């Protein structure tokens, strides 16, 4: 079980249960620009969507909390690939009031260390081309752009980014 600190923030794992995920779902709607495109129905369905997508996939859900216990940042993903050699970093975000304090970087490092320990060869993520903050942070943390996917449901392109976790 992951448990660490970043400054005053406590970082720990979240279980894949509705009770544990609900605060993360609420935070998710506040932080993710793409949620502005989501209908109310889609927003309500996110909890079930997360559970269905992550169940049985060796997921890692980590979050940062204030000393008062309020969730302010999260990052989640799961193992994938033919030989489960990849950790796919799916979603993450930091509450606007708590940005540029190193939380995004701290959660990324926790995630990458965990994936490396699980034996994953690389971590992959898909970053929107109009998201400079995430793109810059990923590049600083050792990702390289390795492809792109045209979006079907909104304008723009997602850049496939990969970071090797160990020598192939």
Ligand X SMILES: CC(C)(COP(=O)(O)OP(=O)(O)OC[C@H]1O[C@@H](n2cnc3c(N)ncnc32)[C@H](O)[C@@H]1OP(=O)(O)O)[C@@H](O)C(=O)NCCC(=O)NCCS
Which lies closer to ligand X via its Cβ, residue 103 or residue 121?
Answer: 103
Q: CB of 71: closest distance to ligand X in angstroms?
A: 13
Which lies closer to ligand X via its Cβ, residue 140 or residue 166?
Answer: 140
Report the run of H or E that residue 54 belongs to, with start and end: helix 46-54
Q: Are 48 and 87 in contact (CB under 8 A)?
A: no
DSSP symbol at 87: E
**Cα(40)–Cα(29) distance, integer angstroms:** 11
Q: CB of 131: closest distance to ligand X in angstroms?
A: 5
The residue nearest ligand X at its CB is 104
Which lies closer to ligand X via its Cβ, residue 96 or residue 168?
Answer: 96
Which lies closer to ligand X via its Cβ, residue 119 or residue 156?
Answer: 156
Q: Label residue 92 exposed, middle or buried (CB < 10 Å: 0-12, 13-18, 19+).
A: buried
Q: CB of 94: closest distance to ligand X in angstroms?
A: 4
| List of residues 6+ apart from 166 with CB closer than 8 A | 116, 121
Contacting positions for ligand X (CB under 6 A): 31-32, 91-94, 99-105, 131-134, 136-137, 140
Q: CB of 25: closest distance to ligand X in angstroms?
A: 14
């Amino acid at each position: 079980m992951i448990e660490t600190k970043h400054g005053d923030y406590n970082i720990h794992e979240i279980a894949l249960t509705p009770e544990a995920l609900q605060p993360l779902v609420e935070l998710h709607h506040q932080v993710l620009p793409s949620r502005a495109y989501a209908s109310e129905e889609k927003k309500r369905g996110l909890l079930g969507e997360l559970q269905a997508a992550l169940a049985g996939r060796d997921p890692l859900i980590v979050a940062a909390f204030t000393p008062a216990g309020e969730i302010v940042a999260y990052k989640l993903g799961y193992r994938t690939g033919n030989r489960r050699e990849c950790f796919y970093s799916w979603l993450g975000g930091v509450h606007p009031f708590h940005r540029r304090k190193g939380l995004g970087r701290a959660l990324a490092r926790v995630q990458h260390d965990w994936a490396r320990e699980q034996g994953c060869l690389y971590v992959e993520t898909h970053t929107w081309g109009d998201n400079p903050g995430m793109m810059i942070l990923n590049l600083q943390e050792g990702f390289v752009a390795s492809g792109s996917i045209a979006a079907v449901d909104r304008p723009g392109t997602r850049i496939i980014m990969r970071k090797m976790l160990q020598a192939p």
